[in-house]
């Protein structure tokens, strides 16, 4: 009994708990941003990373509910916008637009 | 003055004149006969077609009336305040399912009877469940045979233990499928969002990626739904552009695994309950007329 109890506690503590999924597509000039563009969700101290697939779509799982900053790492710039994570999956289709020299992220 | 004897040319002209007259008369007569024969033939065909159409529409009418009466009397048994026994209710559901599975979404009735079986203390409980499952699977199989013949399918299997049992779990991504139908290639991605072992249902997210005319742009549509044994693909499906449909069916949910099948099929094979989008129909007709020119 005493032997497996600490193991169970370790398992429970380390088991991944996912609050919600943020997913969608990223486009530039109305076209897919392409494959392999890094996306980061900054939730407090935590950073959750993913990258786009051939259609420019992404999905990232966030362990907590609440507000995070979603960053697109594109052409040495990091345009970002606020996203809210819920228990369920939320779709954020993003469009990168140029504002002067800087890219900004808008939700489609 | 003695008559000048006729030479060969004059004789020939006389003979040819009379032959010509005879030939003209013969051709006119033949044309008349052939014309009247053709008209008569066409009239016979027209009459036969009219007769056939009348017979068909009368048959259709009487069949519709019979089906209407049958439907009304069966459905009444489900709506009456004093419900019949479970055995009778299952029998009625079997009758409804086998006769109207292409026209009605029977999922609510299946669920209702399923709930009653769960609650009953009847000794024949397992027999009732088996009957209900058998009819549901038979209907799904029948519909799948038709839809697979007209469209494309993709089978997938996953371990139930990997799938979340609540909203908070990590969805399971299934292998993507690229299917082409009527010259339209689409990519289908399925995610198992949640599993309900009690009702043997899955909450799925289906993403449909359709390339647009230029190769670098795509349309991504997604839809989330629960799928179980009582979802019949002809009735319960997702409408896609170009009058196409996609449905997902559950074919197995046991021994730790679930089998699902995605079927991508033309809209003309969808069940009768569906209301056509007239705009889409007109577009399709115009396109067909343009193609045939």
CA distances from A2 to A10, A15, B138 (A): 13, 20, 52
* Tens-place pLDDT, residues B168-222: 778 899 999 999 999 999 999 999 999 999 889 999 999 999 987 766 678 889 9
CB contact under 8 Å between B167 and A88, yes or no, is yes
What CATH number has the domain bearing residue A95? 2.60.40.10
CB contact under 8 A, A18 and B168: yes
Angle, helices B8-79/B86-100, rounded to nearest 10 degrees: 160
Identify all chain A residues contacting B215, using CB atoms and an 8 Å cutoff.
none
Closest residue on chain A to B211 (Cα): A55
Return the pLDDT at B30.
94
Q: Do residues B103 and B145 make contact, with C-beta atoms less than 8 angstroms apart? A: no
B72-126 pLDDT per residue, tens: 888 888 777 777 888 888 998 999 899 888 888 899 999 999 999 999 898 999 9
Residues B217, A32: C-beta atoms closer than 8 Å: yes
pLDDT tens-digit profile of B45-57? Answer: 999 999 999 999 9
Total number of domains in chain A: 1
Domain assignment of residue A1, yes or no: no
**Structural domain contains residue A8:** no
> For residue A18, what pLDDT is reported?
57
In a domain, A14, yes or no: no
- Residue-level pLDDT at A104: 94
Whether residue A89 and residue B217 make contact (CB cut-off 8 A), yes or no, is no
ipTM for the whole complex: 0.72
Tell me, yes or no, whether A26 lies in a domain: yes
B101 to each of B63, B104, B121, B144, B248, how far by Cα in Å? 16, 6, 29, 12, 16
Q: Which domain holds residue A25?
A: 19-107
Residue B52 φ then ψ, to 5°: -65, -45
Residues of A in contact with B168 (CB under 8 A): 17-20, 87
- For residue A4, the model assigns a pLDDT of 54
Residues 42-71 (A) with a CB less than 8 A from some CB of B = 55-57, 61
Distance (Å) from the alpha carbon of A59 to chain B's nearest alpha carbon: 11
Residues from chain A contacting residue B209 (CB–CB below 8 Å): 55
- Other CB atoms within a 10 A radius of the CB of residue B187 amount to 17
- Residue A66's SS3 state is strand
């Amino acid at each position: 009994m005493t032997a497996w109890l600490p193991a169970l506690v370790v398992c429970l503590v380390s088991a991944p708990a996912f609050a919600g999924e943020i997913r969608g597509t990223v486009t530039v000039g109305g076209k897919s941003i392409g494959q392999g563009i890094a996306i980061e969700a900054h939730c407090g101290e935590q950073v959750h990373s993913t990258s786009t697939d051939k259609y420019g779509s992404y999905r990232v799982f966030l362990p907590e509910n609440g507000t995070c900053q979603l960053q697109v790492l594109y052409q040495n710039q990091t345009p970002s916008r606020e996203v809210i994570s819920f228990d369920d999956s939320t779709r954020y289709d993003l469009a990168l637009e140029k504002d002067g020299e800087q890219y900004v992220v808008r939700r489609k | 003055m003695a008559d000048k004897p006729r030479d060969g040319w004059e004789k020939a002209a006389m003979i040819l004149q009379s032959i010509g007259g005879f030939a003209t008369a013969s051709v006119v007569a033949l044309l008349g006969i052939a014309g009247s024969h053709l008209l008569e033939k066409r009239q016979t065909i027209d009459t036969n077609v009219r007769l056939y159409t009348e017979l068909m529409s009368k048959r259709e009418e009487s069949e519709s009336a019979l089906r209407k009466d049958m439907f009304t009397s069966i459905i009444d048994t489900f709506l009456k305040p004093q419900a019949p026994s479970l055995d009778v209710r299952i029998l009625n559901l079997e009758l409804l399912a086998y006769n109207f599975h292409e026209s009605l979404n029977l999922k609510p009735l299946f669920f209702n009877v399923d709930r009653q079986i769960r609650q009953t203390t009847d000794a024949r409980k397992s027999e009732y469940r088996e009957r209900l499952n058998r009819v549901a699977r038979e209907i799904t199989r029948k519909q799948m045979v038709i839809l697979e013949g007209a469209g494309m399918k993709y089978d997938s299997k996953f371990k139930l233990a990997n799938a979340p049992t609540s909203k908070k779990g990590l969805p399971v991504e299934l292998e993507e499928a690229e299917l082409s139908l009527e010259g339209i290639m689409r990519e289908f991605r399925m995610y198992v969002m949640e599993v309900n072992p009690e009702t043997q249902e899955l909450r799925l997210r289906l993403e449909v990626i359709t390339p647009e005319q230029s190769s670098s742009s795509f349309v991504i549509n997604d839809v989330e739904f629960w799928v179980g044994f009582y979802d019949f693909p002809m009735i319960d499906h997702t409408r896609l552009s170009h009058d196409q449909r996609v449905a997902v069916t559950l074919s197995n949910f046991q021994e730790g695994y679930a089998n699902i099948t995605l079927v991508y099929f033309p809209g003309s094979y969808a069940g009768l309950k569906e209301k056509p989008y007239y705009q889409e129909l007109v577009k399709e007709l115009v396109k067909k007329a343009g193609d045939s020119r």
